[in-house]
Chain A
């Protein structure tokens, strides 16, 4: 029960902060008397922010998933190791399950909020872009899992990885485009962000939804994301293999 309340509070607080940012931007548009700011119309901006909120509700809330590091730290991993199952697969499945759950919860929440912004919300630009958007959402979830899981796996060597995961989460929120579209940042930051994988979490899917990426550039971006996923996947594999070798199974 406590868990469930916790879930709702997480989603609710996410919705609140989305609303604050949306109202702020509405004011900016109104008082600057400009139709377009930084390449975004008000409708596009509101759509972007609500969409970013929805993606956040299942990517950000599950980012700090402590299960992996707990299992390693307190030795409960041992119980999985003696069974014919893959602990890594189990962690992945659990994360996927909780992401799906949070996605549905967030979807409900943001649909309700969306009703109030009905006039401003834009539909997806075309069926093709919607499909690409959905694929990019799935890949974003995968990328996020791999990025954080590798930090959790460091628990084999260091006692607490919470700080690392928290820092990564903060960076992800900014560099992923959860607060404003990345094109609003100064040039040097934009260049830095484009070198990092975070932009694939929110900025890339939302730009796809809004149809703001020319079709001929999409493939190369997906390929880059694919490289990130493959690279991080390999890194996870190496760290897991090395870690399990020196697992000490604390606690009994």
Chain B
């Protein structure tokens, strides 16, 4: 079953530009310069129920705008859109009860009140029966490890603690579709890991459709099987994370340390030598031959250590951004 479907989705809006200095301010008072922003340009997207998708792209690519349109916060300028069969911006109750939107940037909880108060607010807003509310709360609180901070006003908590409370609040009504906008943004390693594991657990249950944006590739690698890459409001890649890793002609690197003497010319024939430092050699090889070349090396020479290095996801993605930049600005 399809959870999310968009066709030729676009979003444009106007902003007023303000120049610096007194002159700019005065000018702005009379008539600011209008700037036209095309946040999304013709996005086609189809997400099945139970899928977990990583939405990535450089700043300003339209990731957050996409999430906001899918969750009904923003009206699209043109195009078609269905989420769980509903049109999001109509904001029907039955739709809103089945989704959630969590932003890593923003505080949703009541600043002066403990998390518990906000959970109760959610119970009323989502009209949750007492028993279900208690059951969900208990499970989520345990998972997010926030038992001890339930009664402390939000402003006295650290960012990481607050984010974990927010995650619990966002999932209390057991939403089917979960939108997460940079959930691990501004978190330390431990808190980021906790949030990630939390999301991963949800994702693996297979009941939930999760769309996640992040600049942290660890989030994407650990949680998502499929990634969608946006660049300046356009979709530039939609597919499996594994294919992304394999494709794009990225060379593998073999780092080898020889124990005894070795034949330089022989090694140079195997691949492109990047550097030689005494007994250590870094060799660049086509991805499809990497394992074969490594085993050849092992059988031919006495070897102390050998390692095949994959390009990092960061590297692959950055090269895609760069390629797109070049294409657009040419």
Measured CB to CB, the closest approach of chain A to B104, in angstroms, equals: 8
Q: Does A75 contact B (CB under 8 A)?
A: yes
Task: Give the residues in chain A near B100, CB-CB below 8 Å.
Answer: 82
- Complex Cα distance, B64 from A75, in Å, reads 13
Which of B16, B73, B106, B181 lies in contact with A247, CB distance below 8 A? B73
B91 sits at the interface (CB 8 A): yes
Contact yes or no, B13 A79, CB < 8 A: no
Q: A82-B99, A84-B97 are in contact. Are A75 and B74 (CB under 8 A)?
A: no
CB-CB under 8 A from A79, the residues of chain B are 101, 106, 108
Query: Which single residue of chain A is at the shortest CB-CB distance from B18?
Result: A159
Counting CB contacts under 8 A, is A214 at the interface? no
* A82 to B169 CA separation, bound complex (whole angstroms): 13
In this complex, how many residues of chain A approach chain B with their Cβ under 8 Å: the count is 18
What distance in Å separates the Cβ of B22 from its nearest Cβ neighbour in chain A? 18
Which residues B108-132 have CB closer than 8 A to chain A? 108, 125-127
Partner of A85, one of B13, B16, B74, B125: B125
The answer for the CA separation of A84 and B72 in the assembled complex, in Å, is 11
Among B91, B93, B97, B181, the residue within 8 A (CB) of A81 is B91
**Does B52 sit within 8 A of A, measured CB to CB?**
no
> A252 and B71 in contact (CB under 8 A), knowing A78-B101, A83-B125, A84-B125?
no
B103 within 8 A of A: yes
B73 and A246 within 8 A (CB): no
Is the CB of B176 closer than 8 A to any CB of chain A? no
Chain A, residue nearest B124 (CB)? A85
Which A58-116 residues have C-beta < 8 A from chain B? 75-76, 78-79, 81-85
CA gap between A76 and B106 in the complex, in Å: 8
- State A248–B13 Cα separation when bound (angstroms): 8
B218 on the interface (CB 8 Å rule)?
A: no
B13–A82 contact, CB under 8 A? no
Chain B: CB-nearest residue to A252: B105
Max count, chain A CB within 10 A of own CB: residue among B16, B74, B181: B74
Chain B residues, CB < 8 A from A251: 105-106
Asked if A75 and B106 sit within 8 Å, CB to CB, the answer is yes
Whether B126 lies near A84 (C-beta < 8 A) is: yes
**Partner pick for A84 among B13, B74, B93, CB 8 A cutoff:** B93
The answer to whether B68 and A249 touch across the interface, beta carbons within 8 angstroms, is yes
> Is A82 touching B101 in the complex (CB atoms < 8 A)?
yes
Taking the closest CB of chain A, its distance from the CB of B111, in whole angstroms, is: 11
- CB within 8 Å for A81 and B73 given contacts A76-B106, A252-B181: yes
> A245 contacts the other chain (Cβ, under 8 Å)?
yes
Q: From B94, which residue of chain A is reached at the shortest CB distance?
A: A84
Across-interface contacts of B93 in A (CB, < 8 A): 84
> Which residues from A are CB-within-8-Å of B181?
252
Of A82, A159, A246, the residue contacting B75 (CB under 8 A) is A246
Out of A75, A76, A82, A159, name the residue touching B72 (CB < 8 Å).
Answer: A82
Which residues of chain B have C-beta atoms less than 8 A from A252's C-beta?
Answer: 64, 103, 105-106, 181
- Which residues of A line the B interface, CB within 8 A? 75-76, 78-79, 81-85, 159, 244-249, 251-252
Further 17 A-B residue pairs, CB within 8 A, beyond A78-B68, A78-B106, A84-B96: A78-B101, A79-B106, A81-B72, A82-B72, A82-B99, A82-B100, A82-B101, A83-B125, A84-B125, A247-B73, A247-B74, A247-B75, A249-B68, A249-B73, A252-B103, A252-B105, A252-B181
Q: Which 7 pairs across A and B sit closest by C-beta, in order of nearness?
A: A252-B105, A84-B96, A82-B101, A84-B93, A79-B108, A78-B73, A81-B73
